[in-house]
Amino acid sequence: MRRVAIVGIGNGKFGIRKDASLRELAFEPVKECLDDAGISLGDVDSMVTGIASDEFSLAFQPSAQIHDYLGFNPKPNFRVEGACASGSMAVRTGWLTVASGIADVVLVVAAEKMNEVNTGVATEILGRAGDSTWEYPFGTSFPGYYAMIASAHMDRHGTTEEQLAMVAVKNHHYGMMNPLAHIQKEVSLEMVLNSFVVAHPLKLYDCCLISDGAAAIILASEEKAKEISKKPVWITGLGCGTDTLGLNERRDLTTLEGTVFAANQAYKMAGVTPDDIDVACVHDCFTIGEICAYEDLGFCKKGEGGKMIEEKQTYLDGKIPVNVDGGLKSKGHPIGATGVSMSVEIVKQLREEAGKRQVKGAETGLSHNIAGSGQAVAVHIYQRD
């Protein structure tokens, strides 16, 4: 296996993008990451596209729209789908393509245009990521799935609604500093706690946004990376784990087994421990998701995630800064694009290009991306030279 580095990054504006089609959304970060790497599309050997849903795209081959619009024919391109983890699964696939020697330079682009449908339809589409026999037909949706996880965590570990709200306050604080974020607005603890209940105990500000957006990276072999970039960021660890489709079949609702498995794989491959991580992007589709991630990734002991946010250990100057790009909560969650956008943020941090959100001296980063309610999880470790 060859070493693989990220040599170019691009991220479009997240939000309600009525100004652009899916293919136009994807073009923005692709142009940016090619410019960032200082190469042309002709220098790219292969392409991987991450898109979660045909229904949001209103197309059976949405990746074909993108590579055709880019003018990438007749070179290889194929789509990777992993629900809300589609972006990270695309990064994993691109890494494998380069590491195996099939290609030297690979473009990974991920996009989703969720606002092609209204909120009710979007909620219904997302709900189908649950068990289509025992969950979705009975009216469950993702706020409902994560509300069950939150209720179990509160019952077992004493987590409070205030601690959930503190995650939203932090992530909106940093989203305010991110010009690419869907919502750039501070929220107070009172605002979060007094917002209307979506699925108890989750309220409006505990839930992520329905967003449009795209992100892209360029991966290169070690030889090519040293030719292209003065500041390559290496992907040194990859983990992938799974869990049962139905929540009713899980051993413990407060633990995502896929995260634990994927994290341990990634740490072992990279030769690091949770204490070595300087900055992380984790999957906070709902505020309880970030608290569970603290625990499942090994940043704290089980049951201490609420205490971790209460003590501000995951703020910029804390023990382990988490989601200082705003996370899914403030930056937005265009489901196919989220994982690649996480990679972009970690590269910015390790290159020391994150501006006001910069983690001082960051050398090792982590991204954590969940499909559905934990049916598949990708964890990546990134390191700079």
Catalytic residue among 153, 283, 333, 368: 333
* Burial (CB count within 10 angstroms: exposed 0-12, middle 13-18, buried 19+), residue 363: middle
The token pair that represents 217 in the structure block: 């990276």
Amino acid at 375: Q
Cis before 334? omega within 30 = no
274 SS3 class: helix
Residue 311 has phi, psi (to 5 degrees) of -85, 5
Active-site residue, 182 included: no
Active-site residue, 333 included: yes
DSSP string, 320-380: S-B-TT-HHHHT---TTTHHHHHHHHHHHHHHT--GGGPPTT--EEEEEEEETTTTEEEEE
Radius of gyration (C-alpha) of the chain in whole angstroms: 19
Catalytic residue among 84, 207, 281, 285: 84
Q: Which of 109, 106, 110 is nearest to 220 (CA)?
A: 106
Helix (H) or strand (E) holding 5: strand 4-11
Helix residue ranges, H only, 6-83: 22-37, 54-57, 62-70
Catalytic residues, by residue number, are 84, 333
